[in-house]
Chain A
């Protein structure tokens, strides 16, 4: 029976519910802007990762390598673009 029980999916489902509740707390409780936004960013990205890995089966086929390479490359490009733009338009601007 143990192999048949969808433990990973159930845990994933519960975790995503918890992440949603935590994100909702930002609306109902009175956090400062910085704290609120930090919570939202962390829960949002964890949620997205959870969706990809658990529910969209990112690592479960033989395309695993290509899929993860793509995701990591996407993250790298996104970070470079965001921080590069901040550097060019805000921080490095004199």
Chain B
């Protein structure tokens, strides 16, 4: 029995035991359900083995939404604990675990898959490609991310959650101060998911550089594709740093090395440094695709072309470089001298300039536009003012001298939530609503959608504005309670109400998906928003091969000109289409990674060695197998096109 003791939770509570039961029941329900409805074969053939970028995108989307709710429940628990002074809903240990998992889940397992979901689905369509450059690698990316996320999510019922913050600073995250396996989970689960993200980065750079439709030069690409290109470049240059840092942290925890220890030549601050060398570019990895979504939504519903296309591109290129030059602003108070802090203050303020250019470009696009307020547009319009407040308080934090006052307070928490929520969450919800008809062939209900948008917009303000005040009054972040005499109670109570509004907003979104799935009309055109870019030129839902005939692009708004100025987009006749074959190997290999990760977390070496051999066997199999894909015949394409309502009209 001694062997099994390691899997026990070091700090249990009734809520965690209840979650164990709930997880167990859910797993049983899923297995029984799949067996009863005979869906195992369907699941394996159509989803688990798929290499289709559209299906992979949808799987990313589902994972992101699930994680949004996991992270959201964490958030509600934190706000409930802080709502009144000296609350005893959670104790300090549970509070530590909850804020740590909230951060990791929201950034790594919600925001990242959400942007990758939209990139996966939309980018190949926007550039007129049949799939991504390496479809098999894309499936591996998804499954690695998924297994990493699952590994992280079981931590709270097996062995204990990480409790050293989402930044997991050493020496707190070292063995001396974090004795449970929680931080092992952090190191290894993020590593596995990070590998998948890095592969996505390489895959999408290759796709965008090599697979654009004929005539689509770089400067004729839609803005979302541009943002995806820049994002993936940042991924490829930033994620290796995280990989290295996590590997070093894992070695410290499992093999007693001394990279980040306080003694024996280790340097604990090196972790903070490496973490933010990755961490700050990561902020832009999240925000740039969001900017891309707004740059699609705003011109569509302002019914004007995007103002300042070139300056939009150049501001992203500049952000791509500057995002690597600001990381020290995350630890201004660590003790480095005034010169260092001044340098990084200035680079930080400089990065506000290209961001400001983008804000003005959106405003100029709206100027004199014939604006239609739809749900995606509503999110975009809510984004501009709220994000600007978040951004401007960021410039306040960038002043290193003043940062000694703001550092580690709720002011900071308010700042980054007011950047990330409008910047990423609003954009993803806007993108989800905007591209939903393309993905599923029906539209989400506008009325419920707008209610949700308003609730989430106002809820964000109500939840986070009070933190500016309590933060300036000295409320530290990550404190699990406070005394009544501090006077923080009222602000935290208001914030709790805001959090409730946000929760209601998200529940409305789920209800909207349910409601629209049941009642929305399936009889919609392929281009229901009267939009501008190529993804709307094919059918909804999109056939397996995306475009029956590869589109011919000769302007920035090729599809718009095709609709309004009678320019021909599809030239020539149907030809055979070469498509990639499905494969179960990515799933099997990622499942082995899951086992490997789990074995490493608990130091079960034999299992780790066996699963590592399995992983290498999968790679060997891929190297030796002959897979030439398959061809779709002209007849098959004709049949599909006719069934979907005729192409090229």
Contact = CB atoms under 8 A, between A and B. Distances in A.
Interface of A: 63, 66, 73-74, 76-77, 80-81, 84-85, 87-89, 92-94
Interface in B266-283: 267, 269-270, 273-274, 277
Nearest to B267: A89
B209 A66 contact: yes
A92 B337 contact: yes
Contacts of B267: 89
B536 interface: no
B371 interface: no
A84 B327 contact: yes
Given A84-B327, A87-B340, 6 more contacts: A73-B233, A76-B321, A85-B273, A88-B344, A92-B337, A93-B336
Contacts of A77: 237, 324
A14 to B, nearest CB: 32
B328 A84 contact: yes
A81 B340 CA distance: 14
29 contacts: A63-B209, A66-B209, A73-B233, A74-B237, A76-B321, A77-B237, A80-B324, A80-B325, A81-B241, A81-B324, A84-B277, A84-B325, A84-B328, A87-B336, A87-B340, A88-B273, A88-B334, A88-B344, A89-B267, A89-B270, A89-B336, A92-B339, A92-B340, A93-B335, A93-B336, A93-B340, A94-B335, A94-B336, A94-B337
B214 to A, nearest CB: 15
Nearest to B341: A92
Interface in B123-151: none
Contacts of A74: 237
A87 B336 CA distance: 9
A16 B274 CA distance: 33
Contact of A89 (B209, B237, B269, B324): B269
B507 interface: no
Nearest to A78: B237
B606 interface: no
Interface in B354-404: none
Interface in B204-245: 209, 233, 237, 241
A76 B325 CA distance: 11
In terms of DSSP, what is the predominant structure of the interface of chain B?
A: helix
B398 to A, nearest CB: 16
A94 B335 CA distance: 7
B337 A93 contact: yes
A92 B209 CA distance: 40
Nearest to B276: A88
Contacts of B334: 88
A77 B335 CA distance: 24
A88 B336 contact: yes
Contacts of A89: 267, 269-270, 273, 336
B343 interface: yes
Contacts of A92: 336-337, 339-340
B230 to A, nearest CB: 12
Nearest to A66: B209
Interface string B61-74: 00000000000000
A87 B324 contact: no
Contacts of A66: 209
Nearest to A74: B237
A73 B273 contact: no
Interface string B329-351: 00000111101100110000000
A61 to B, nearest CB: 11
Nearest to B270: A89
A71 B274 CA distance: 22
B336 A85 contact: no
Contacts of B324: 77, 80-81
A59 B336 CA distance: 42
A85 B321 CA distance: 16
Contacts of B335: 93-94
A76 B337 CA distance: 24
Contacts of B274: 85
A94 to B, nearest CB: 4
A80 B343 CA distance: 13
Contacts of A93: 335-337, 340
A32 to B, nearest CB: 22
B339 to A, nearest CB: 6
A81 B343 CA distance: 14
Nearest to B324: A77
B397 to A, nearest CB: 17
A81 B337 contact: no
B325 to A, nearest CB: 6
Q: Which 8 A-B pairs have the closest CB atoms?
A: A92-B340, A94-B337, A92-B336, A92-B337, A88-B328, A93-B336, A77-B237, A88-B336
Nearest to B326: A84
B237 to A, nearest CB: 5
Contacts of B237: 73-74, 77
Contacts of B269: 89
A33 to B, nearest CB: 17
B390 to A, nearest CB: 25
Of A77, A81, A87, A88, most B-chain CB atoms within 10 Å: A88
Contacts of B339: 92
A7 B183 CA distance: 55
A89 B268 CA distance: 11
A93 B337 CA distance: 5
Contacts of B273: 85, 88-89
A53 to B, nearest CB: 20
Contacts of B340: 87-88, 92-93
B589 to A, nearest CB: 27
A80 B273 CA distance: 13
Nearest to B281: A77
A89 B337 CA distance: 10
Contacts of B336: 87-89, 92-94
Interface string B559-601: 0000000000000000000000000000000000000000000
Contacts of A81: 241, 277, 324
